[in-house]
Amino acid sequence: MVLDIVASKEGVEPDYRMIGQFAGECFMPLCYGGGIRTLDQAKRVFDLGVEKVCLQSAVLDRPAIVTEIAGTFGRQSVVVSVDVKRDWLGRPKLYQSRSGKTLGRDWLDFLRYAVEAGAGEVVLNAVDRDGEMGGYDFELIRQAAAAVSVPLIALGGAGTSDHFRQAVMAGASAVAAGAMFVFYGPHRAVLISYPPYSELEKLFPERK
């Protein structure tokens, strides 16, 4: 999954040239998110070889975009990103990354609505844990998994391979990580590193 976190904030279209470069080098299913606001933009991204699009800001502004894309390309092609941030009392709040503000709408209601509109998958991002590498918000994962039946991808907080297993045990269908693969050691030196596949297999022996 490639997320352009600047495109939506600046209100610009996806960088189609960059997406084409990613798609040309990627030999696994590729999902792209960032700046997609119309059906035509989504079609152009799919035409570049991308299998799924990830939406957030556009869904908050115009939920019908999910139904339009799912109706044209199938719901398996639409992923909705749900950002959640806890307030000073620890209460989870729906968060809009574009504005950097929490919203008044209940995050679970938004999650259910996105699925009803046609989302085939959901990315649940614990914003206050993002980049901290201290573990996912497992309680959020449990609540989200109980609320919807589509695949749920946990994001925000992964720091060890064991966090992956804990997230799946909490109800996630899959896990995502970023900082864990990039930063290393107490000084957070940049080192692109991924766990060996054999190590990941040991986490889920029941899935072999």
15, 47, 61, 83: the active-site residue: 83
- In contact, 123 and 169? CB cutoff 8 Å: no
- In contact, 107 and 93? CB cutoff 8 Å: yes
- In contact, 49 and 23? CB cutoff 8 Å: yes
Is 189 strand, coil or helix?
A: strand
* 113-134 exposure pattern, b = at least 16 Cβ within 10 A, e = fewer: bbbebbbbbbbbbbbbbbbebe
- In contact, 122 and 148? CB cutoff 8 Å: yes
**Amino acid making up residue 45:** V
Phi and psi at residue 167, in whole multiples of 5°? Answer: -65, -40
The alpha carbon torsion through 71, 102, 150, 156 (nearest 10 deg) reads 120
Is 83 part of the annotated catalytic residue set?
Answer: yes
Tell me the C-alpha distance between 46 and 77, whole Å: 9
Q: Which residues are catalytic?
A: 83
